[in-house]
């Protein structure tokens, strides 16, 4: 069974640009969540989607957005990139969205903003 797949794995963007990251969850998983990982802040929750609806959101500015499609695949978008957005962006999926549903992570997308 394929794991969580994220694309692209590495990308470099210029300050002010926008970026879209893609995530394909494990087959059958309906919940997708996104995280940002930086050396200074650690792993931080961005948002979670279930059945194409955002169910939870972390403390990030509105420049960070996402969506989920009917096949459970998800994208996240960051607009007006800042240098501080450089991070590893992780996508995770779970079968359901309630407590007890194990969350499985992808390998992440490394974003560098220059």
Partner 1 sequence: LAKTTQPISMDSYEGQEVNITCSHNNIATNDYITWYQQFPSQGPRFIIQGYKTKVTNEVASLFIPADRKSSTLSLPRVSLSDTAVYYCLVAERGSGGYQKVTFGIGTKLQVIP
Which stretches of the chain bind partner 1, using CB under 8 A? 4, 31, 33, 35, 42-45, 48, 50, 55-56, 58, 88, 90, 92, 94, 97-108, 110
What gap in Å lies between CA 68 and CA 59, rounded to an integer? 19
Q: What would the two tokens of residue 24 be?
A: 């394909």
CB of 71 to partner 1, least distance (A): 20
Measured from the CB atom, is 75 or 97 closer to partner 1? 97
Smallest distance from partner 1 to CB 84, Å: 19
At closest approach, how far in Å is the CB of 55 from partner 1?
4
Tokens for 81, please give them: 């990139």
For 47, 62, 111, the CA distances from 36, given in Å and listed in that order, are 10, 15, 10
Nearer to partner 1, 11 or 97 (CB): 97
Pairing of the two strands 42-50 and 53-57: antiparallel
Q: What's the closest the beta carbon of residue 34 comes to partner 1, in angstroms?
A: 10
- For residue 94, which phi and psi values (nearest 5 degrees)? -145, 160
């Amino acid at each position: 069974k394929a794991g969580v797949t994220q694309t692209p794995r590495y990308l470099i963007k210029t300050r002010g640009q926008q970026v879209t990251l893609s995530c394909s969850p494990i087959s059958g998983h309906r919940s997708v969540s996104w995280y940002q990982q930086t050396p200074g802040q650690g792993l931080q929750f961005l948002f979670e989607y279930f059945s194409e609806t955002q169910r939870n959101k972390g403390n990030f500015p509105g420049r960070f957005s996402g969506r989920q499609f009917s096949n459970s695949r998800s994208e996240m978008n960051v607009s007006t990139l800042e240098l501080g957005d450089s991070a590893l962006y992780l996508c995770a999926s779970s079968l359901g969205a309630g407590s007890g549903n194990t969350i499985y992570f992808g390998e992440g997308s490394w974003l560098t903003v220059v």
